[in-house]
Chain A
């Protein structure tokens, strides 16, 4: 079972990124759930979402002890860092999180996703860069499969978003610390 917690600021595309994971899991025939935090979490507030991808029917959709944490701001990193299961994975947007985990029982990856997005002229795509790196370190989905699943969820009238999403995914996947 993969239970994944994605957390950051509202407006970073946290919920979108989570939805891409759930969607890819569903299309692969797995049981999936996606539960967002909701409420006064508009742009600038904190936002997070729980995604579970499992072979078995899913009980609680709420992820309190994630196997994978994707953190995209410092408050989220601090809040959830110690909740990650031993042997789990933490992926940080190091552009926005000037800290590293002290834990030695998890694998931690640091990728400056927000800075990379600006440098490549794809502001706002840090979330997909994070997903790219997730694919690299988690082996949950094959890269080509995930790319196709993500692209097929983009409506035809937003066709121009296909290339930027592909580029962001590739940047995240090929990033080496």
Chain B
């Protein structure tokens, strides 16, 4: 298939349809509204449904219902809307229900702004809802990867019976790049024998529930779920490295900032500074082992984020003081320029001498 030029938001929508998703429930918010705009047009063409709910809270509970019935289902929002969805997300985790949730992040807190941000890293990876829980969190850095990871997200959600988040940002949502939707290697998707999708009295009722009044029973449920998390952490971690082999300084950055960081790495290399880039693709599970290995062989690490310093704490935990870890970030919707990041690298390089 020939490449087409598409916006990140449009690509999420198209990739969802190509993943067999036929249900979308959402509520508009900048900078991700093109997802529902595209699906409003596309879903009827494939006998699907795109529904604008009365609120984010309603939308996530519709997602819960559709998922409980065994459907592949998508919702999307941007930062404040994701906060509204967090209760329903926790209920879905507690009910072991798959779905894909897209957060095209904007500046916060509060209503914040509408420009690109990565300030929801903590929320996405640590506490997207109450209770002992995780989501798989995927961070695309190009429009092609938005397509690939959205399709991957549906598979992961079904395989591990849990919500998967695509953590993007306003720039990735709005920008266009060439993309192709080639068939990807398909994964074995287990049959949804747990779904409450009707059975014509041929089996016992399936019950979808997140309420467990007996503490020992709830503890068992959570412990069993964490065994699945451990399996995911073993099998599903993804990252990418660029020029890290001989690097004195390694930048750690994801999403749109990884793109800016890569340009800064090239600029630094052109100026004789040995720098590389480590790009986490899964933010949960976090590529801690690989970062630990980097920390042991490089002289210093710099994390670059669109916030006041969030992923940097996971990097520090992974590095275990094997080398110094510094941070550079902009927030509120500001994007750092390549030159800004380069200057920070140059300062660090001078200090290493």
Contacts and interface: CB of A to CB of B under 8 A. Distances in A.
B147 to A, nearest CB: 15
Given A32-B177, A59-B338, A62-B260, A23 B30 contact: no
Given A19-B5, A26-B5, A59-B338, A34 B175 contact: yes
A162 to B, nearest CB: 19
Given A33-B175, A60-B260, A60-B338, A39 B30 contact: yes
B17 to A, nearest CB: 20
Contact of B337 (A22, A39, A62): A62
Interface string A19-48: 100110010000111111011000000000
* SS class, residues of chain A in contact with chain B: mixed
Nearest to A30: B178
B5 A35 contact: no
B260 A32 contact: no
B175 A61 contact: yes
Given A59-B259, A59-B260, A33 B177 contact: yes
Contacts of B3: 26
B337 A38 contact: no
Contacts of B337: 60, 62, 64
B170 A38 contact: yes
Interface residues of A, number: 18
B177 A38 contact: no
A38 B31 CA distance: 8
A33 B175 CA distance: 7
**Which among B3, B256, B259, B261 has the greatest number of chain A C-beta atoms within 10 A?**
B259
B259 A22 contact: no
Given A22-B5, A59-B262, A39 B114 contact: yes
Closest 7 CB pairs of A and B: A59-B263, A34-B176, A59-B262, A60-B260, A35-B175, A60-B263, A26-B178
27 contacts: A22-B5, A23-B5, A26-B178, A31-B178, A32-B5, A33-B176, A34-B5, A34-B175, A34-B177, A35-B171, A35-B174, A35-B175, A38-B31, A38-B114, A38-B170, A39-B114, A59-B259, A59-B260, A59-B262, A59-B266, A59-B338, A60-B263, A60-B338, A61-B177, A61-B259, A62-B171, A62-B337
Interface of B: 3, 5, 30-31, 114-115, 170-171, 174-178, 256, 259-264, 266, 335, 337-339
